[in-house]
Structure 1
Amino acid sequence: MSAAGSGSNAAGGFERGRLAALLEAAGAWLLGLLWVLPLAYAVWTAFHPAEYSTRFELGAPLTLQNFVNAWNAAPFARYFLNTFLLVTMILAAQMVLGTLAAYAFARFEFRGRDLVFMLVLLQLMVMPDVLIVENYNTMNALGLRDTILAIGLPYFASAFGIFLLRQTFKTVPRELDEAARVEGASALQVLWKVYVPLARPVYLAYALVSVSHHWNNFLWPLIVTSSVETRPLTVGLQVFSSTDQGVDWSIITAATLMTSAPLLLGFLLFQRQFVQSFMRAGIR
């Protein structure tokens, strides 16, 4: 092959690579725009009077009255407290149970270990909505219906969390186990002092995913609760779409921003750690 032919092929490959990069960038910008536009509309509508919810004017007056009206229209303080207790309870249970299960699957040899782990993985293929009826009957039989515990109990054991931590624990050198046991550490001490510190990035990534999911969960809390004292934020928002005066988008968007603000703030604060944690988990 001549030098001219090689140069032509290299130039063609460079152009194709550049075109692919441009298409990827354009696709990313398009997806970002599709995500930002609804948020931009919600911010505009929430901070302006109701008559500006359907039109855009640069000189439109700003107001916080929509947030005041939204806060007074529903017991948001109670909803926030319920949601905080719910996500904290679920995350704590998932961390403890997931850590113990992952450690057992990663480092202990026992009969049926692979079969049990396969059953755990099968849970990932089952949609939670399929189990709503059975979960509801179980909560009712236990006398837990219309409680915060009833919302969180079906999620205490997370197959995804067990799988993620097991894969991380398996990368820990066994020499660290042996060194810790030589020093007289028990199995739980080895887990707490060796495995858990090394898996902190994975714990952070999973915690953000878990909190985000259960903060936004709607269907199951709606079904299993029936009182203001136990309902989380997502269920409390439905009060704004069931008024006799019709839909007031300025109040709805203000309530939505108040509900989603903690998640948005948390993601902005921990964005770098979130991405790095999942990249490390993926590499392992």
Structure 2
Amino acid sequence: MRLKSWNIGRWLLLALAALWFVPLLWVVLTAFRPKQLALSPSFSLDFTFDNFAVVWAAAPFAQYYVNTVLIVACVFAVQMVTATMAAFAFARVEFRWKNIVFLLFLVQIMIPADVLIFPNYNVLKELSLLDTKLGIMMPYFASAFGIFLLRQMFKTIPPELDEAARVEGFSKWQIMWKIYFPLARPSYIAFGLVSVSYHWNNFLWPLIVTNSVQNRPLTVGLAIFAQSFEIGAQWTEVSAATLLVITPLLVTFLLFQRQFMNSFIHSGIK
């Protein structure tokens, strides 16, 4: 009876996975189909790369790619530094009201980012950082999730390593970067996956604070392209543009899925 229930549950999960996969499959097939066959229900072996050529020539996707990669890389680099220092302080440094301050950091995880759009916009306006890459990145330089994840990892490291390092003359700064940082590699990979995927797909905040091609990321560029008068409801071009946006994340996941899964397991993420 238990085995039968397991088989039913497995087939149900496979059915749900297949249902989730249908939109992605439709986008891939439509992106490579000729325009006249875009909405045809019949399967055809007629495929073309013309849709991608049209998309690449119709919008500055090269600039969008550069903007997105720069934003994602800079945000993660700063987050890694700030989260590491904060997590180390919460895990190994004793100071007054530490638990209360850490609780305030955890509260930030419960606050949706969209709630802070208005105050963040006003701050950027006062700093004259609207329509800049720095303006897109600034609200995300600190990550409460990253601090919590790394702090939990750091607390699993034996404190005897700290004592041995201090005997060797290491400062707290050296202990953090030469001992804790290398040992927390699985957590950094897990956090990197979350950070990169979130900021690669982030749409609402960049849409609000950017007005120029020089600063728009891929998500905003795709939305403007899909709604443009020249494209209209041309599903082949829209699908090709969508595939250009999501392909880097899909390829990265397919290449490093085992490392990603192991990172989440070692980091205690369920």
Give the TM-score normalised by structure 1. Answer: 0.92
8 Å CA contact 1:49, 1:63 repeated in 2: yes
The 5-angstrom pairing of residues 126-275 of structure 1 reads 126-245=111-230, 246-275=232-261
Q: Cα RMSD between the aligned structures?
A: 1.3
Provide, for residues 201-220 of structure 1, a one-character-per-residue CA deviation record: whole Å limited to 9, x for no partner. 11011101100000000000
Equivalent pairs counted in the alignment come to 269
What is the distance in 2 between the residues matched to 1:244 and 1:109? 60
8 Å CA contact 1:74, 1:239 repeated in 2: no
What is the distance in 1 between the residues matched to 2:9 and 2:173? 47
What is the distance in 2 between the residues matched to 1:158 and 1:23? 40
Paired AA for residue 259 in structure 1: V
Shift of 1:24: 2.2
Paired AA for residue 228 in structure 1: V
Is 1:98 matched up with 2:83? yes
Shift of 1:244: 2.6
Query: Which segments of structure 1 move beyond 4 Å, counting only runs of 4 or more?
Result: none
Q: Which residue of 2 aligns with 1:43?
A: 28
- More displaced 10-residue stretch of structure 1: 131-140 or 28-37: 28-37
Provide, for residues 36-78 of structure 1, a one-character-per-residue CA deviation record: whole Å limited to 9, x for no partner. 1111101110001112221244443110000001111110110
8 Å CA contact 1:103, 1:191 repeated in 2: yes
Provide, for residues 1-30 of structure 1, a one-character-per-residue CA deviation record: whole Å limited to 9, x for no partner. xxxxxxxxxxxxxx1x21331232122212
Provide, for residues 163-215 of structure 1, a one-character-per-residue CA deviation record: whole Å limited to 9, x for no partner. 00000000000111111111111111111111111110110111011000000
Provide, for residues 209-258 of structure 1, a one-character-per-residue CA deviation record: whole Å limited to 9, x for no partner. 10000000000000011111100000001223323352111000100101
Q: Which residue of 2 aligns with 1:276?
A: 262
Where in structure 1 are there 5+ consecutive unaligned residues?
A: 1-14
What is the distance in 2 between the residues matched to 1:27 and 1:234? 33
Paired AA for residue 27 in structure 2: A
What is the distance in 2 between the residues matched to 1:59 and 1:152? 44
What is the distance in 2 between the residues matched to 1:38 and 1:155? 30
Q: What's the secondary structure of 2:101's corresponding residue?
A: helix
Is 1:111 matched up with 2:96? yes
8 Å CA contact 1:52, 1:60 repeated in 2: no
Is 1:82 matched up with 2:67? yes
8 Å CA contact 1:46, 1:250 repeated in 2: yes
Paired AA for residue 68 in structure 1: A
What is the distance in 2 between the residues matched to 1:203 and 1:85? 19
Q: Which residue of 2 aligns with 1:65?
A: 50
What is the distance in 2 between the residues matched to 1:125 and 1:101? 19
Q: Which residue of 2 aligns with 1:10?
A: none
Shift of 1:283: 7.3
What is the distance in 1 between the residues matched to 2:12 and 2:124? 45
Rate the CA distance shift 1:250–1:138 in 2: closer, same or farther, 3 A: same
Give the TM-score normalised by structure 2. Answer: 0.97
Where in structure 2 are there 5+ consecutive unaligned residues?
A: none
